[in-house]
């Protein structure tokens, strides 16, 4: 395992090396593969390591009320609002090393690059590593960015993971209080903009020969929890014609989800990614099945039509097979356009670094940026990933691409400073 020298100059290769460093125990809860769920022991170890790197880069670091790691590089005066750069530090099970984490490392490298040159801005720069984007532990995702953006709303916080550990208990283990989760919220006037660098998690940039791309919008997303209730019975004595098999019904429902997702435009996708069968015994006809449904599209109306069609199809299957169906909406994320002004600055930066017109993309994957758009204007930089593979150990990036991403990020921050300073702020010329 390669460890980066602490006094090495800011660089894209160092960002990659640090992601690799965080890819194993103690930064993973599993010795067999990378798994870094929210509020686990690996999460705690990771925050300690990241905090040290943030401090080395010239920032002050803290863990907020939601378990996010937040660092601040002060501006020319201490109360200045901040440009926020970030992504997430949690992972799915059996994950790759760059999803989310590379964006956090690039945020640190961006600040380090300016700190090495002694450059301060008329605003602060904050780097944030969100604790829970993936939803790989508790049955909701982007919980911690929603806390920061102040959009927790009526979210039920009586959540438990697969082992029955509640969110309140997990937060307590971090020295945090579930009743104070919303204290992570930030005021609109304190955050000027949010920028996120992320691997594409798709094949477009690689197929078209682009190292970098600029995100124009993030797709709308629904997430449902479906529960099918049939009648459990002995597999040897319950006649086939008399069965109300929850799993057989659920299997037909999964195929309906696939059919409807595949019948729409190219940007529509529908996925069943998790299923639990009860009682889960070989010689018992399944009596209950719970499964997830994820529906996404670049346009909200397309997503909504697909969701309506899936609801109708599942209800018909349940009625025909004589099983119960409970379908609960767990997450509703609208399509999120990125800010045109910020995206223009980022596109100009990419053009300068790569010498080519930037590729604009719609992100089919959800990101913390879509939540942060409730708090501040957002922009996203995509990096090419090998084969478009993500959420898998084969996830890979080219260090030269990451170096270009760092150069684009520093170029963007410089452009942002010029645009912001010339926008008629209340700062004096001396403060600027």
Which residue ranges are tagged as binding site? 88, 99, 134, 198, 223, 283, 296, 391
End-to-end CA distance of the chain: 43
Query: Residue with structure tokens 């880069």?
Result: 57
Q: Which residue numbers belong to the known binding site for allantoate?
A: 223, 283, 296
213 has which bridge partners? 359, 382
Spacing of C-alpha 424 from chain mean position:
34
Q: By C-alpha distance, which of 91, 93, 96, 28 is closest to 392?
A: 96
The answer to whether 413 and 229 are in contact (CB under 8 A) is no
Query: In this structure, what token pair is assigned to residue 86?
Result: 């970030």
The CA distance from 281 to 247, in Å, is 12
CA-CA distance, 235 to 423, in Å (whole number)? 72
Spatial CA neighbour of 414 closest among 40, 10, 114, 79 = 114
Q: Which residues are annotated as part of the binding site for Zn(2+)?
A: 88, 99, 134, 198, 391
Contact 131, 38 (CB under 8 A): yes
- When computed from its CA atoms, the radius of gyration of the chain, rounded to whole angstroms, is 23
Distances (CA, A) of 279 to 8, 9, 111: 55, 56, 53
Residue 151 vs residues 179, 302, 374, 390: alpha-carbon distances, Å: 15, 24, 8, 28
- Parallel, antiparallel, or unpaired for β 275-278 and 220-229? unpaired
The residue ranges of DSSP E strands in 230-335, in sequence order, are: 233-234, 269-271, 275-278, 284-285, 288-297, 324-333
> Tokens in use for 364?
């089919």
């Amino acid at each position: 395992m390669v460890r980066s020298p602490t006094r090495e100059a800011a660089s894209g290769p160092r960002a990659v090396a640090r992601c690799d460093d965080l890819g194993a125990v103690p930064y993973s809860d599993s010795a067999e593969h990378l798994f870094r769920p929210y509020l686990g022991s690996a999460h705690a170890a990771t925050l300690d390591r990241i905090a040290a790197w943030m401090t080395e880069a010239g920032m002050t670091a803290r863990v907020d009320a939601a378990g996010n790691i937040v660092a601040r590089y002060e501006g020319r005066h201490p109360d200045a609002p901040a440009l926020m750069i970030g992504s997430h530090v949690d992972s799915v099970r059996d994950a790759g090393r760059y999803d989310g984490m590379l964006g956090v490392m690039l945020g640190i490298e961006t600040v380090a690059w300016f700190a090495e040159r002694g450059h301060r801005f008329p605003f602060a720069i904050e780097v944030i590593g969100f604790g829970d984007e993936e939803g790989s532990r508790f049955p909701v995702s982007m919980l911690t960015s929603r806390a920061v953006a102040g959009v927790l709303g009526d979210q039920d916080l009586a959540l438990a993971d697969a082992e029955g550990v509640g969110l309140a208990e997990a937060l307590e283990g971090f020295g945090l209080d579930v009743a104070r989760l919303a204290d992570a919220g930030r005021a609109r006037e304190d955050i000027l903009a949010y920028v996120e660098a992320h691997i594409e998690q798709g094949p477009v940039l690689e197929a078209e020969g682009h190292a970098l791309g600029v995100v124009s919008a993030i797709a709308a997303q629904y997430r449902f929890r479906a529960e099918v209730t049939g009648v459990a019975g002995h597999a040897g004595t319950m006649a086939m014609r008399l069965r109300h098999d929850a799993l057989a019904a659920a299997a037909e429902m999964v195929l309906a989800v696939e059919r409807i997702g595949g019948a729409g435009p190219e940007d529509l996708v529908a996925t069943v990614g998790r299923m639990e069968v009860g009682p889960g015994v070989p010689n018992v006809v399944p009596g209950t099945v719970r499964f997830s449904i994820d529906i996404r599209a670049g346009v909200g109306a397309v997503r909504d039509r697909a969701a309506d069609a899936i609801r109708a199809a599942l209800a018909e299957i349940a009625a025909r097979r004589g099983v119960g169906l409970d379908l609960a909406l767990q997450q509703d994320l609208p399509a999120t356009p990125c800010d045109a002004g910020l995206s223009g600055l980022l596109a100009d930066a990419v053009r300068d670094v790569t010498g080519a017109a930037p590729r604009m993309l719609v992100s089919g994957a959800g990101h913390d940026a879509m939540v942060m758009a409730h708090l501040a204007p957002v922009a996203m930089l995509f990096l090419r990933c090998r084969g478009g593979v993500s959420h898998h150990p084969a996830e890979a990036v080219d260090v030269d691409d990451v170096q270009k991403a760092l150069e684009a990020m520093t170029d963007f921050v410089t452009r942002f400073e010029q645009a912001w300073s010339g926008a008629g702020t209340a700062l004096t010329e001396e403060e600027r």
